Amino acid sequence: MENQFFVDSEHLSKEALDKKHQLEKDPSCRTNPMEYMPGMEKIKSDVCDKVMNEVKSFDYTKYTAKDVRAALEHDKCSVEDFKALLSPAAEPFLEEMARKARLETSKHFGNTVYIFTPLYIANYCENYCVYCGFNRYNHINRMKLTLEQIEREMKVIAESGMEEILILTGESRAQSDVKYIGEACRLARKYFRMVGLEIYPVNTEDYRYLRECGADYVTVFQETYDIEKYEKLHLAGHKRVWPYRFDAQERALMAGMRGVAFSALLGLSDFRKDALASAMHVYYLQRKYPHAEMSLSCPRLRPIINNDKINPLDVHEKQLCQILCAYRIFLPFVGITVSSRESAEFRNGIVKIAATKVSAGVSTGIGDHESKYEGKDAADKTGDEQFEIEDGRSLKKMYGDIVGEGLQPVLNDYLYV
């Protein structure tokens, strides 16, 4: 399947093209994805072993309609019940799952839906992840915002009414070092009441520094928990080290971050096993750090520049809805985010059932919020986007549509004292 991800390479120098082809064709030239690189912090934790043991033992073909009915009848969803709800046997019970998920959502979140927006401040990347538009061998316009440009983007976004922002970069320490990201956090605190980060994984001391700069939570996509498939899709760069990425959320919590978010990119591997692993990752860390706020995202693959063939294969909206309902039933207190990768119609429906957070006014490009929000021509060169979005609604439109669904939009519910 990974061959569908490779992009056109005509723009590359001969040296770079030779290296790219070598990485794609010769596994012996790739580093071991389980070996840490210099400078990467190792922590003592049993969470990974617990999660992977659950995945290893998960045979979703063994579950029957009887198992699914029993899971839906139980007041508390066990791990075994959750596995049944993720199985193909649960697909005919989607309406019952949705009703139970909606009940759990209303118990713990009322009728609220939180809104945020992402801000990409750089798209330079040192990794070769073959499905990502930012990968270092993809021919796109690269850009890193200056601090002045970051503040201008933040000001435009804040003036739209947004109160929560998620700061993102490509995974390049050379172009987007921790100090640069920290300065972006300090600027964000001037304009927003909630600041999240979705950056390359860092060590505990770096997460502690970013928290001191104003970050509230950290999001890390494991992409896939399937180590064999991970090795085939992440061919070079720090991201290739699977266990260092797995432990990122725990390092962030050790550093005092208030919250962490988890995700697999559905469609890269067996989506049922990746969904199980994502939830179990939350499940075990929630028991280890009960004070922390935790959330799950459920993104599916989207086309990228130079490759419009990238799609989530067998993960259709029905399967995505099943996963989201199973998440809510199994982890009733956990926030669930559904991104602009999905259609407006799907997002409007799922916030009434299981999801508690959506993005609005989204751009996955670099430096174009002023032109997007205010209809102006971009004064500077902009950087290309990471992937195509499906739902491009503004904050105003999203807010109105949520109200129209009989729900209460929430821009922020956290106060610093």
Residue 415 lies in a domain: no
Residue 310: predicted pLDDT: 55
SS3 state of residue 158: helix
pTM value?
A: 0.91
Compare 15 and 282 and report the one with higher pLDDT.
282
Looking at 17-26, 210-219, 286-295, which range is the least confident one?
17-26
Q: Is residue 365 part of a domain?
A: yes
What does the pLDDT read at residue 339? 87
Q: Which are the contacts of 295, defined by CB distance < 8 A and separation ≥ 6? A: 259, 260, 261, 262, 334, 335, 336, 337, 357
How far is CA 266 from each of CA 276, 292, 300, 341, rounded to the nearest angstrom? Answer: 11, 25, 5, 12
pLDDT at 197 over 80: yes
Write down the pLDDT at residue 309. Answer: 55
Nearest in space to 401 (alpha carbons), one of 336, 356, 355, 349: 349
For residue 121, the 8-state DSSP code is E
Task: Write the DSSP symbol of residue 122.
Answer: E
At residue 231, the pLDDT reads 94
- The alpha carbon torsion through 342, 217, 120, 321 (nearest 10 deg) reads -10
Q: Which residue has the higher pLDDT, 265 or 369?
A: 265
Domain for residue 397, yes or no?
A: yes
Mean pLDDT of the region 259-273 = 94
3-state secondary structure of 337: strand
Average pLDDT of the residues in 384-395: 75
The answer on pLDDT for 342 being more than 60 is: yes
For residue 328, the enclosing domain spans: 2-410
Tell me what pLDDT residue 348 has. 95
> Has residue 417 been placed in a domain?
no
Pairwise CA distance, residues 43 & 222, whole Å: 17
Average pLDDT over residues 328-335: 97
- Residue scoring higher pLDDT (403 or 301): 403
The Cα 120–Cα 366 span in angstroms is 6
For residue 262, list its beta bridge partners: 220, 296
Please state the rounded mean pLDDT for residues 151-177: 95
User: In this structure, is residue 294 part of a structural domain?
Assistant: yes
> Which two structure tokens, joined as six digits, stand for 254?
């050790």
pLDDT(375) > 80: no
Nearest in space to 105 (alpha carbons), one of 412, 404, 281, 330: 330
Mean pLDDT of the chain: 89
Q: Which residue type, as a one-letter code, is found at position 68?
A: V
Q: Which amino acid is at 64?
A: T
For residue 226, being part of any structural domain is answered with: yes
- How confident is residue 394, by pLDDT bands cut at 50, 70 and 90? very high
On whether residue 416 sits in a domain, the answer given is no
- pLDDT exceeds cutoff 70 at 15: no
CATH of the domain at 184: 3.20.20.70
Residue 194 forms part of a structural domain: yes
The pairing of beta strand 335-338 with beta strand 293-297 = parallel
Report the share of the chain in percent with pLDDT over 90. Answer: 73
CB of 347 within 8 A of CB of 359? no
| 341 in Cβ contact with 266 (< 8 Å) | no
Question: What pLDDT is stored for residue 1 in this prediction?
Answer: 44
Structural domains counted in the chain:
1
